[in-house]
Amino acid sequence: MPHVTVKLWPGKSDRQKQDLADAITKSVTSILGYGDEAVSVAMVEVAPSEWTDEVYGPDIAGQADKLLKKPGYGPLAGGR
């Protein structure tokens, strides 16, 4: 623990995804004080045509009270 899931559109290279996972792991270990072995990171690709139904609705708008960083698009646009 912790486990971080990143949902993104398809098209990023494996190298880009691995670099992001490494950066997330580094931040988690540095900021939260966990060891590297405690952190897991998943990348879930979601097609743009499915983003609203699979991500924006349930994960963003549906959990707006839990968001620490809001998107700059859609009804919740406008900051932290």
Structure tokens belonging to residue 35: 């060891």
Which token pair is 31?
Answer: 């900021």
Q: Is-contact 54 8, C-beta < 8 A?
A: no
Residue 40 and residue 25 in contact, taking contact as beta carbons nearer than 8 Å: no
Catalytic residues: 2
